């Protein structure tokens, strides 16, 4: 996952008072990392599809094994579906903002966006480690919500350390 620190004050519009709005104390945004572009996906489909079709046709022509052709088509169709499913997640992100007395958490997965906010003085970040797996949760008023789903375990531990100065963090 690509991680990006956002400086919201640099391009924030000015408020009606003539003073720019205050930047949040802390912003952490995690984006999906897509190393294969749309062109790369199409090229991979073309190469795999061409290779599979070529091998299927060669076996059919040489040995008369025509039942190979539908499986070659299914292989190409499966790869096409996988690329299509992955491209639906290209815009996914997770954002954690500490601003004044509020902790905000926003997550986008496919086309759905979830937004939650808590009073930062009443919430606790719980960091649990089980068999080298790190899990981060925000706990407030008897309820918990998972944060950092798109992050690697090392990054979750680092985020918990960074939040330690801003919120209460339990280990």
- Sequence ranges of the domains in the chain: 2-11+22-32+96-170, 38-87
pLDDT of residue 12 exceeding 80: no
Q: What pLDDT band is residue 36 in, cutting at 50, 70 and 90? A: confident
Residues 117-145 pLDDT 10s:
999 889 999 999 888 899 999 999 889 99
The residue length of the chain stands at: 171
Gap between the Cα atoms of 147 and 64, Å rounded: 56
**Contacts by residues 157-164 (CB-CB < 8 Å, ≥ 24 positions apart):** 157/127, 157/129, 159/28, 159/96, 160/125, 160/127, 160/134, 160/136, 162/26, 162/28, 163/26, 163/96, 163/98, 163/125
Chain centroid, CA 36 distance in Å = 15
Q: Of 39 and 168, which is predicted with more confidence?
A: 39
In the structure, how many helices (H) and strands (E) does the chain have?
3, 9
Strands 168-170 and 93-99: unpaired
Residues 85-118 pLDDT 10s:
988 888 999 999 999 889 999 999 998 999 999 9
pTM comes to 0.71
pLDDT of residue 11 exceeding 50: no
């Amino acid at each position: 996952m690509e991680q990006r620190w956002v400086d919201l004050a640099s391009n924030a519009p000015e408020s009606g008072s003539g003073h720019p709005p205050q930047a949040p104390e802390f912003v952490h945004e995690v984006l999906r990392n897509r190393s294969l572009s749309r062109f790369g996906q199409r090229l991979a489909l073309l190469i795999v599809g061409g290779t599979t079709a070529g091998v299927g046709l060669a076996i059919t022509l040489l040995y008369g094994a025509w039942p190979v052709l539908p499986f070659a088509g299914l292989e190409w169709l499966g790869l096409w579906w996988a690329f299509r499913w992955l491209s639906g997640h290209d815009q996914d992100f997770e954002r954690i903002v500490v601003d004044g007395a509020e902790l905000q958490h926003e997550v986008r997965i496919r086309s759905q966006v979830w937004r939650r906010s808590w009073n930062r003085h009443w919430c606790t970040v719980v960091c649990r480690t089980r068999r080298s797996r790190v899990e981060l949760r925000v706990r407030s008023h008897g309820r918990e919500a998972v944060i950092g789903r798109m992050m690697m375990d090392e990054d979750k531990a680092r985020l918990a350390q960074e939040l330690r100065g801003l919120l209460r963090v339990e280990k």
